[in-house]
Amino acid sequence: MKNTKIKVGITHGDINGIGYEVIIKSLMDNRIFEICTPIIYGSPKVAAYHRKALNIDNFSLNNIKEAHEAHPKRANIINCVDENVKVELGKSSRSAGTSAFQSLEAAVADLKKGAIDVLITAPINKKNIQSKDFEFPGHTEYLESKLESGKSLMLLLSDKLRVGVVAGHVPIVDVPKKITKEAILEKLEILNTSLLKDFGIQRPKIAVLSLNPHAGDDGLIGMEEKEIINPALDEARKNSIMALGPFPADGFFGSDDYKKFDAILAMYHDQGLAPFKALAFDSGVNFTAGLSGIRTSPAHGTAYSIAGTNVASETSFREALYLAIDIHKNRDCFEEATKNPLKPAESVKNIQ
């Protein structure tokens, strides 16, 4: 019987962290197989090590060599790392970084050729994965390079809010140089398109945060709002993007104003992600908007401190899996509506 369900590729991330724990716990729910066919890019040997460390007996993986061999009612795994790789729970190691890259490289290759439909990435250690083949700050920049689909946007989501950032994985000292009118417009265009295509939201409303405290206090605490952000918002609105602001970040989140918007564009990483993770750490999902392929990940890291202790929550990973499937369906609906403009597309569940 041909498998027509969405094929979900899963990278195992850093093998010394909680990647396998959250993957296994998520796939232990057999209802997953009703909506997708999961394929882990990793190591059966490493998976067995984690399963034993977690004292999980009622779970097994179907070993395959190619994605087209995946069993539609099983959790599948493709071995793509050195069989002799050593697991050292809670530690950063060069071999863990190498195996994380090998998993990612194999999964992205299959995503590019259509062997899998969506990609879920387990957390990596951004330091130990660095090599001549991976000279990027993180997953987002690597995928942007490999999928060759133009610029992307790191978008954090939960059932409460969506937050993107203009300056992502850059040192804080370099943030002001990254905040330009062109950069803000670029991210707004990606975000607006994603809200339409990936989330089925008509006429999305976007809040844009200021760079300086109190939105610069009319130039008293910085001129970026007057000279850069406001002109960018004016041009965005001329391009039919409903972007409002700039709003001071502290009051914006403190007063619950974020609930009035479909998404928020922060100026830099911690300005947007600190309040996001305070509000939705366990259930948050990272989505790389703007790519030709669909990639999500849990919003947490490797969590070395609890690796192998069986206390990690799989909620964020499971939500990442569900979100990737929803976005895949929404894109299909959007494409159908584009081809048949008189036939309204039925949007999949939206985050309100």
**What residue segments make up the domains of the chain, in order of their start?**
1-152+287-314, 160-282
- List, in sequence order, every residue forming a beta bridge with 39; answer none if it has no partner: 9, 76
Q: How many CB atoms lie within 10 A of CB 202?
A: 8
340 pLDDT above the threshold of 80: no
What secondary structure letter does DSSP report for 18? T
**For domain 1-152+287-314, which architecture applies?**
3-Layer(aba) Sandwich (3.40)
pLDDT confidence band for 343 (50 / 70 / 90): low
Strand intervals (E) in the chain: 6-11, 36-42, 62-64, 76-79, 118-121, 153-157, 162-167, 205-209, 242-247, 263-268, 285-289, 294-298
Q: How far apart are CA 294 and CA 26, in angstroms?
A: 19
Q: Work out the average pLDDT over 313-335.
A: 95
- Count of CB atoms situated within 10 Å of the CB of 244: 14
Q: Give the rounded distance of the alpha carbon of 336 from its chain centre.
A: 25
* pLDDT higher than threshold 60 for residue 344: no
Place of tokens 């990278």: 11
Whether the pLDDT of residue 351 is over 80: the answer is no
pLDDT of 149 strictly over 80: no
**CATH code for residues 160-282:** 3.40.718.10
Tens digits of residue pLDDT in 191-200: 999 999 999 9
Domain 1-152+287-314 and domain 160-282, same fold? Reply is yes
Q: Does pLDDT of 295 surpass 50?
A: yes
State the Cα–Cα distance between residues 85 and 83, nearest whole angstrom.
Answer: 6
pLDDT at 211 over 90: yes
